[in-house]
Amino acid sequence: MSAHPDEGFLALLVQRGHLELDQARGLLPSLRDGGSLDALLVEHAGWTEDKVRLLRRTRAGEQPLLPGYEVLGRLGVGGTAEVFRARDKRDGGRTVALKILDARLVRDPRALRSFVREAKMLTELSHPGLCQGHGIKKAGETVFAVLEWIEGQTLLELLEERSQPLPESQALEIVLQVAEALAHLGAAGLVHRDVKPGNVMLTPRGEVKLIDLGFCAPAGEQTAADSATGTAEYLAPEQAVGGGAADLRSDVYSLGATLFQLTIGRLPFEPGEDDDVLRQHVMERLSSPELKGRGHSAHLRYFIEKMMAKDADLRYQSWEELLEDMRAQVEGARRADFKGDGGRRGRG
């Protein structure tokens, strides 16, 4: 028996979270017997005809239609949302990013609360190193956040494109900017909890933007005893074991792991099963023979080893302490480069 032409669309509805798999399977016999998928969705899924027409027109949300916005293309997709570049028709044609929550998560009260909380934080927190939020909206059953559109790429994309580490001076300048954004979060009593190259954007002008506050929480908030919050490859030991209270020192550790990856070109601990990576963060010493090579300064080794100390009490205890050390190193390197250029830098 040949497949019904609408079976592909039915599968797309499941894939994009509009229908549960069991619901779709329940509709298949009637569809294959010649039934109309649109009528079946109205009769058995309880959808309105307008909802069916909208999902047809947008290919189940692959090509979203949102009042007041002209969607220009998809920028990326994550575990909970898709991000689209769009033109805001009601704000002088400004280019923005629209972060659209996955349809299945709109029906999950906990996920919805987390998404709304992140959007509100991005709107309330104003700092050059943070992606600026412009509010959260709902159009029909679609929930989306309006965000600053950032031209550029994530540090992870940059590393993949280069296929080699960044120069130490550039990596330190980037990490310094990330630390300044994290210090702003810290001043608001918040911990990011998911610092990693994939959550840091670099613009063509060299500006750094920390993105994705999905795991951000008040400092000291306990995690579940049987779960670790964040991305395994960058988690501080106290986060990796679960049940701990993350504070700024957890973000310091993750930022140190990010600095390691930027300058060495690999993760601090080899990727594999999440449980094994978490075990390495907790139990194994950082092995970094590359840091002892000629291409890296003693300062870089000091920063990474201090930031990634297993014992949180041995790491930087405040962002001010870290920023003071790192600014001194970055400024010193800039002065050395300037002198080495024979004074040519800075001229038009």
Convert 142-181 to b/e letters by CB count within 10 Å (16 or more is b).
bbbbbbbbbebebbbebbeeeeebbebbebbbbbbbbbbb
Question: What's the longest Cα–Cα distance across the chain?
Answer: 81
Structure tokens of 51?
A: 């909802």
State residue 222 phi and psi, 5-degree precision: -75, 140
What is the rounded CA–CA span in Å between residue 260 and residue 288?
Answer: 9
Is 194 catalytic? The answer is yes
Query: Is-contact 29 1, C-beta < 8 A?
Result: no
First-to-last C-alpha distance (Å) of the chain: 73
Q: Is 290 exposed, middle or buried (0-12, 13-18, 19+ CB in 10 A)?
A: middle
Catalytic residue among 194, 212, 247, 251: 194
Q: Are strands 94-101 and 81-88 parallel, antiparallel or unpaired?
A: antiparallel
Active site residues per annotation: 194
